[in-house]
């Protein structure tokens, strides 16, 4: 059974000249223990979905069930404190006047003191901050604050954990480190989680299922591999990974059909059938990323080996591996 | 839906609406009372009292406005644009006159400059004159005297707002002007002054509201303002409709002043999008530095040091003469303190209710009604004490009549619950100073990110539960500052207290007023000194806030 089920959920904000629809008839389901992700550019409505699940936005249509319990519909808005939902906020929202310990214990106020202490200690051990229990939030590094926020959200054993851009306040190195660490903690505690991000590498690193959103709708939902290999439409194709969508006829394929060409579909081959002009190339660690141009002016992304030293304007030849190309009817 | 919440959100909204209605009550009652028509004396009022009092009031406002604008802007520019020994000290000493209420500065100078007082006495001795009639100084018991005295204690309002502007806004614009070829000496007129205009407008509006509120100084100095006219029309002639009509005329001026303030604030907000950076002051040396320091000391001396030292001196002299203070005075001081404490508790609590209701409504994205409640609740700061008191009389009488009826039905002796009771004073103080507590609670809440509310809610707290667990602890500094300001303002309050106090009930302010009205300078000096000392507390608070503020600017730059 689904731990989280959204059924054609719509959310709108009051605005001049009628409400602005932020989420439009959206369906989404997560199984117990799964980590789901809403991926999209800012303003696509992904955070609104999260806030509606948490209970901070009323629904205009549809329904939300958490662990089989109806928590929201146009006529029902269960208050957030009754939804068994934990939330990790973009800026962590740690209470500045409370110690780490008190922050983590905040959601446990109804338990006896002894149980609170035990649970707080357990959670701090889980995130590796047992020795900072007495510190205050402003004394911690960004990564430590994030872990306190995680411990605090998990402490009351929520049925569902919501994470709003969990890495946006961290520098790039801490991000990569903490993404795998966070996934480890979620999996170890068998938490069902829904994460919101605009960064696809984060989504790939964290999530079992990723839903790509645009303009309040989900365009495609699947694993990272599926989204990369088989984007459902042109938007997803352009949004996920590098590549270009263009008319197959230009590449000698079926006319009237668009194809997605990723760099790995192009192999540098002096005898290859695809003649292009190099526009620019940039160093990318193990290789070089290049932008090349077809005679008609359409641009493709390609990879070049590290030692390749062609100057912009040079003519290159590539072989196309046509079997793997996702195709879209026009 | 919100069954688990001990205090559902609707209860907060209802409470906030009631507070707003309580504020509107006196205003509506004022209009209603005025419409009843004066008891046959309107023609007299219309012909003699009102036009004269209105002319006098307008002249006073124009004079005080011009003086505070010059003194406030000048002193702010002096300590912002120039650096000289003593500048730091001066930059907070400029605030000291705020501790001296208008009626006390008048009280002090009246005695100081009395023909038989110390100043004229020494002058005569210096000039070798014997008869007081041989030395004619301009009489401070005049419109001109009132303008000067009020100007020198009210200029800090302009100083505060313009100095804040110079500290945060001006630097890059002034530098741009220099690069574009404006000479340093011309900067003030060509750039700083136009830039400071909104801030000056805000400060002048606040100073003039205070001028309109003043009853003591005008009365002592024999200036027949509208405020004085309201007081005498009600207290001496018992003509409530007449007093209400004059009060309505004052409200017109109040509305104009609020419009001025709002206008200024709108421009301020517009300007404050730039990155804050203080002006780099120019270092002065030698004689110029000394001149700057002396010039800056003038308003501090006139507005604070001279009257304060005089009061201290007189108090010591009296103590030496009498050996002790009378038990009556101690009783009055005690009255003042507990009344102010009670009013402070009520005012801070209600201010918090109104601000919290807005916070909850904002979380639901339906803030309009709650924001209106807050706006209305904050109107009291603009209402002169006399106007508020006149407006309160009718609703309170109606309430007492209803309560009396109820008591009779219950078989008890009917009595006045509000009229002529200390509850009436607490009510008046609360309405008058609610803007302070509601305003600082709102500002304090605005600094708490909404994510903290959502975190608390998602961790199982009801909306009221999170107020106690999260917001109150975080609001403590803001509420403490508000409580201090309300407490001190209540202790100093004169006009509403004079009009609404119970028979034979005195506060320090009314005691001092009675002293001065009799022309007898007796234990009133103690009262005056006490009020000034207590009044120093918020000034210290302001000065410290100013220092840390400027300090954080420096570390940020």
Q: What ipTM, to 2 d.p.?
A: 0.79
pLDDT of residue B169: 67
Contacts of B88 (CB under 8 A, 6+ apart): none
pLDDT of residue B168: 75
3-state SS class at A69: strand
Do A253 and A259 meet the contact criterion of CB atoms below 8 Å apart? Answer: yes
pLDDT of residue B473: 94
Structure tokens at A192: 């069902």
pLDDT of residue B555: 31
**Do the Cβ atoms of A54 and B455 come within 8 Å?**
no
pLDDT of residue B552: 37
**Do the Cβ atoms of B458 and A153 come within 8 Å?**
yes
Task: Please tell me the total count of domains within chain B.
Answer: 1
pLDDT of residue B269: 55
Question: What is the nearest CA distance from B368 to chain A, expressed in angstroms?
Answer: 12
Question: Looking at the domain assignment, is residue B106 inside a domain?
Answer: yes
Question: Looking at the domain assignment, is residue B121 inside a domain?
Answer: yes
Question: What is the nearest CA distance from A12 to chain B, expressed in angstroms?
Answer: 11
- Tell me, yes or no, if A19 comes closer than 8 A to chain B by beta carbon: no
Chains A, B: CB pairs < 8 Å:
78
**Do the Cβ atoms of B454 and A56 come within 8 Å?**
yes
Quote the crossing angle between the two packed helices B306-322 and B102-112, to the nearest 10°: 70
Closest residue on chain B to A150 (Cα)? B455
Quote the crossing angle between the two packed helices B143-168 and B170-179, to the nearest 10°: 80
Question: Looking at the domain assignment, is residue B380 inside a domain?
Answer: no
**Do the Cβ atoms of A109 and B454 come within 8 Å?**
no
> For an interface test with B, which of A52, A56, A78 has the most B Cβ atoms less than 10 Å from its Cβ?
A56
Give the B-side interface with A, CB within 8 Å.
1-2, 4-5, 363, 365-366, 449, 451-452, 454-463, 469-470, 473-474
Question: Looking at the domain assignment, is residue B73 inside a domain?
Answer: yes
How far apart, in Å, do the first and last CA atoms of chain A sit? Answer: 38
Give φ, ψ of A286 to 5 degrees.
-65, -25
Question: Looking at the domain assignment, is residue B542 inside a domain?
Answer: no
Residue with token string 């208050």: A79
The per-residue pLDDT string of chain A (330 residues; one tens digit each, 9 = 90 and over) reads 689 999 999 998 877 777 888 999 999 999 999 999 999 998 899 999 999 999 988 899 999 999 999 999 999 988 888 888 999 988 899 999 999 999 999 999 888 999 999 999 999 998 889 999 999 999 999 889 999 999 999 999 999 999 999 888 778 877 877 888 889 889 988 899 999 999 998 999 899 999 999 999 999 999 999 999 999 988 899 889 888 888 888 887 878 888 899 998 988 888 888 889 999 988 888 889 999 998 888 899 999 988 888 889 999 999 888 777 888 877
Closest residue on chain B to A76 (Cα)? B1
- Tell me, yes or no, if A39 comes closer than 8 A to chain B by beta carbon: no
Q: At A302, which helix (H) or strand (E)? A: strand A299-304
Helices vs strands, H then E, count in chain A: 8, 19
Question: Looking at the domain assignment, is residue B160 inside a domain?
Answer: yes
Question: Looking at the domain assignment, is residue B382 inside a domain?
Answer: no
| 3-class secondary structure per residue, B402-450 | HHHHHHHHCCCCCCCCCCCCHHHHHHHHHHHHHHHHHHHHHHHHHCCCH
Mean pLDDT of chain A: 90
pLDDT of residue B2: 38
The per-residue pLDDT string of chain B (557 residues; one tens digit each, 9 = 90 and over) reads 334 566 788 899 999 999 999 999 999 999 888 887 655 555 566 667 788 999 999 999 999 999 999 999 999 999 988 999 999 999 989 999 999 999 999 999 988 888 777 787 788 888 877 776 766 677 888 999 999 999 999 999 999 989 888 887 667 777 777 777 787 778 888 888 888 888 899 899 999 999 999 999 999 999 999 999 999 888 888 888 888 888 988 999 999 998 888 888 776 654 544 556 677 788 898 899 999 999 999 999 999 999 999 999 999 998 898 888 888 889 999 999 999 999 999 999 999 999 999 999 998 888 899 999 999 999 998 999 999 999 999 899 889 888 888 888 888 877 778 888 899 999 999 999 999 999 999 999 999 999 999 999 999 898 889 999 999 999 998 999 899 999 999 999 999 999 999 988 999 999 999 888 877 777 888 999 999 999 999 888 888 776 444 333 333 32
Question: Looking at the domain assignment, is residue B28 inside a domain?
Answer: no
- DSSP H helices in B191-301: 193-213, 216-220, 226-231, 240-271, 286-300
pLDDT of residue B40: 55
Q: What domain range includes position B147?
A: 37-300
Give the global pTM: 0.84
- Tell me, yes or no, if A206 comes closer than 8 A to chain B by beta carbon: no
**Do the Cβ atoms of A87 and B454 come within 8 Å?**
yes
CATH of the domain at B286: 1.10.3720.10
> For an interface test with B, which of A75, A80, A165 has the most B Cβ atoms less than 10 Å from its Cβ?
A80
**Residue B274 to residue B331: CA distance in whole angstroms:** 53
Do B499 and B517 meet the contact criterion of CB atoms below 8 Å apart? Answer: no
Q: What are A59-118's pLDDT values in tens digits? A: 999 999 999 999 999 999 888 888 889 999 888 999 999 999 999 999 998 889 999 999
């Amino acid at each position: 059974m689904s731990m989280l089920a959204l059924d054609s959920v719509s959310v709108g904000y009051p605005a001049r000249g009628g409400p602005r629809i932020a989420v439009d008839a959206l369906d989404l389901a997560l199984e117990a223990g799964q980590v789901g992700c809403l991926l999209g550019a800012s303003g696509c409505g992904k955070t609104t979905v999260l806030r509606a699940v948490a209970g901070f936005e009323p629904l205009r249509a549809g329904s939300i069930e958490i662990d089989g319990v109806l928590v929201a519909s146009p006529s029902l808005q269960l208050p957030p404190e009754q939804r068994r939902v934990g939330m990790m906020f973009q800026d962590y929202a740690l209470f500045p006047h409370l110690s780490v310990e008190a922050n983590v214990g905040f959601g446990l106020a109804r338990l006896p003191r002894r149980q609170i202490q035990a649970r707080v200690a357990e959670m701090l051990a889980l995130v590796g901050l047992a020795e900072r229990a007495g510190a205050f939030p402003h004394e911690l590094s960004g990564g430590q604050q994030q872990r306190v926020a995680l411990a605090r959200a998990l402490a009351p054993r929520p049925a569902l954990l919501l994470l709003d851009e969990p890495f946006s306040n961290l520098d790039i190195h801490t991000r990569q480190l903490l993404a795998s660490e966070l996934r480890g903690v979620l999996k170890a505690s068998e938490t069902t989680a829904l994460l919101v991000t605009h960064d696809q590498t984060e989504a790939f690193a964290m999530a079992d299922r990723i839903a790509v959103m645009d303009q309040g709708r989900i365009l495609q939902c699947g694993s990272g591999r599926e989204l990369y290999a088989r984007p459902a439409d042109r938007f997803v194709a352009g949004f996920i990974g590098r590549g270009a969508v263009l008319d197959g006829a230009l590449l000698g394929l079926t006319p009237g059909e668009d194809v997605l060409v990723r760099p790995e579909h192009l192999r540098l081959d002096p005898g290859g059938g695809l003649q292009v002009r190099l526009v620019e190339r940039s160093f990318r660690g193990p290789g070089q990323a290049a932008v090349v141009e077809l005679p008609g002016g359409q641009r493709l992304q390609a990879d070049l080996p590290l030692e390749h030293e062609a100057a912009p304007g040079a003519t290159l030849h590539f072989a196309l591996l046509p079997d793997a190309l996702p195709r879209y009817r026009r | 839906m919100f069954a688990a919440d001990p205090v559902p959100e609707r209860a907060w909204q209802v409470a906030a609406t009631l507070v707003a209605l309580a504020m509107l009550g006196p205003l509506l009652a004022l209009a209603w009372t005025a419409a009843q028509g004066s008891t046959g004396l309107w023609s007299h009022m219309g012909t003699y009292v009102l036009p004269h009092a209105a002319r006098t009031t307008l002249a006073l406002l124009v004079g005080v406005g011009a003086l505070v604008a010059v003194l406030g802007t000048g002193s702010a520019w002096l300590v912002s644009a120039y650096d000289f020994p003593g500048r730091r000290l001066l930059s907070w000493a400029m605030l000291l006159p705020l501790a001296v209420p208008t009626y006390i500065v008048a009280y002090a100078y009246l005695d100081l400059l009395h023909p038989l007082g110390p100043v004229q006495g020494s002058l005569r001795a210096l000039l070798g004159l014997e008869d007081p009639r041989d030395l004619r100084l301009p009489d401070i018991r005049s419109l001109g005297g009132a303008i000067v005295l009020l100007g020198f204690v009210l200029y800090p309002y302009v100083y505060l707002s313009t100095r804040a502007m110079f500290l945060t806004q001006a630097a890059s614009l002034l530098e741009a002007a220099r690069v574009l070829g404006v000479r340093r000496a011309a900067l003030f007129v060509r750039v700083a002054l136009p830039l400071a205009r909104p801030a000056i407008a805000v400060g002048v509006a606040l100073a003039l509201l205070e001028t309109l509120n003043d009853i003591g100084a005008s009365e002592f100095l024999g200036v027949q303002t509208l405020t004085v006219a309201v007081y005498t029309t009600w207290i001496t002639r018992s003509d409530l409709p007449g007093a209400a009509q004059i009060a309505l005329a004052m409200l017109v001026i109040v509305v104009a002043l609020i419009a001025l303030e709002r206008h200024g604030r709108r421009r301020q907000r517009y300007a404050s999008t730039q990155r804050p950076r203080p002006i780099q002051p120019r270092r002065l040396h030698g004689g110029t530095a000394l001149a700057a320091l002396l010039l800056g000391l003038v308003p501090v001396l006139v507005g604070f040091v001279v009257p304060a030292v005089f009061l201290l001196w007189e108090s010591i002299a009296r103590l030496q003469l009498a050996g002790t203070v009378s038990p009556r005075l101690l009783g009055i001081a005690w009255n003042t303190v507990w009344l102010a404490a009670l009013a402070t508790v009520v005012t801070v609590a209600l201010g918090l209710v109104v601000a919290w209701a807005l916070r909850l409504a904002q979380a639901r994205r339906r803030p309009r009604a709650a924001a209106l409640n807050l706006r209305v609740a904050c109107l009291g700061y603009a209402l002169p004490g006399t106007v508020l008191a006149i407006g309160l009389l009718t609703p309170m009488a109606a309430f007492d009549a209803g309560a009396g009826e109820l008591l009779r039905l219950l078989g008890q002796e009917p009595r006045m619950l509000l009229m002529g009771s200390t509850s009436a004073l607490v009510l008046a103080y609360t309405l008058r100073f609610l803007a302070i507590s509601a305003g600082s609670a709102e500002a304090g809440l605005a600094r708490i990110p909404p994510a903290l509310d959502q975190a608390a809610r998602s961790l199982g707290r009801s909306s009221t539960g999170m107020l106690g667990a999260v917001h109150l602890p975080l609001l403590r500094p803001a509420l403490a500052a508000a409580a201090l300001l309300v407490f001190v303002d209540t202790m100093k309050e004169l006009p509403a207290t004079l009009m609404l106090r119970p028979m034979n009930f005195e506060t320090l302010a009314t005691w001092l007023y009675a002293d001065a009205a009799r022309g007898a300078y007796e234990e009133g000096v103690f009262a005056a000194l006490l009020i000034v000392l207590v009044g120093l507390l918020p000034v210290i608070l302001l000065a410290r806030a100013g220092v840390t503020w400027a300090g954080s600017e420096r570390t940020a730059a």
